[in-house]
Amino acid sequence: MAVSPTELLDIARTIALEAGELIARRRSEGVVVADTKSSSIDVVTFADRECEEFVKSRLAELRPEDGFYGEEGGDSTGTSGLTWIVDPIDGTVNYLYGIPQFAVSIAVVEGTPDPGTWKQLAGVVFNPMNDELYFASLGGGAFLTKAGMTSPLAVNQETLLAHTLLATGFAYSSELRAEQADVLTRILPAVRDIRRAGAASLDLCAVAAGQLDAYYERDTKPWDYAAGSLVLREAGGVVGGLDGAPEGREMLLATNTHLFSQIEKLLLS
C-alpha cells in the first residue's frame, strides 16, 4: 500500500468537514424527503443523495483508483485495493426532525466492505450541529476535535454490568422491532439505564469518548459502523458480533474488554 493511514485520514477529515457544512446548510434551508427504502418510515432525503454524490466526486478527484460503497448506492470497484465506505447522513430521521444527532461517516478500508475480511485504515465521524469531529487511523489512536481543541479518546473501564450505561437502536421492520423489544426486557433490568440516540456512528463514538459504557444494535450496515468502530477500537474498545463473529447485520456489540462477554451473554440468552 503506497499511501499511509495518516494520509488517508487527512483526506477523510477534509471531505467530512466539507460534507458536514453542506448538510448543515441544507438542514437550515428545509428538509425534503426524496423517497423511502425498506419501509415507509425508512426515509431518504434529497440532502442524503446530494451529500453522497458530493463525497463520491471529491474522492474521485483525490483517490480515483479507489472503490466506493455508499448507503445511497452508486457503488464502484477500484483498482487500488482500497474502498471508501460512506454514510452521507447517519441519523436521517433525526435530520428530518431537526434533532442535532446526525453525522457524516467516512471510512476507508483495505479490501471490500466486509467486516469479516477488511482492514480498517482510517475513519471520520462528523456531527456538524455540535461541531464534533471524531477521527482515527490504524495504530494512530482516536481523537475528538471540538471548538478548535483536539483531545484523545479512551473508553470507560467499567466492570460492573449493573453500572453500565448502554445504548441501542432499532430496525425499521416492525417484526424485527418486536424481537428487539423482547431482548430489551432482558437487558434493561440488568444495567444502569438505556439510551437511544438514533445514529450508530455517533453511538460508537460516544462509547469511545466515555459518554457511554456500551452500545449494541441488530440490523446495522457497513456504512453505519465502518468509521465509528475504528474510532472505538483505537480508543481501546472492543467491537464484534456474537459467538466470535465480526460485527454485522446479525449483531454489533461495542464496549470495553470487561463488559463484552457479560453483555454478550444477555444478548444470547
**87 a known binding residue?**
yes
**224 a known binding residue?**
yes
- Asked whether 222 and 114 are in contact (CB, 8 A), the reply is yes
**90 a known binding residue?**
yes
**Nearest to residue 205, comparing CAs of 147, 160, 246, 151?**
151
What's 44-78 look like in SS3?
Answer: EEHHHHHHHHHHHHHHHHHCCCCEEEECCCCCECC
**Nearest to residue 29, comparing CAs of 85, 98, 76, 75?**
98
Q: What contacts 192, CB < 8 A, 6 or more positions away?
A: 162, 163, 164, 165, 166, 213
Residue type, 1: M
**203 a known binding residue?**
no
Residues tagged in the binding site annotation for Mg(2+): 71, 87, 89-90, 224
**Residues that constitute the known binding site:** 71, 87, 89-90, 224
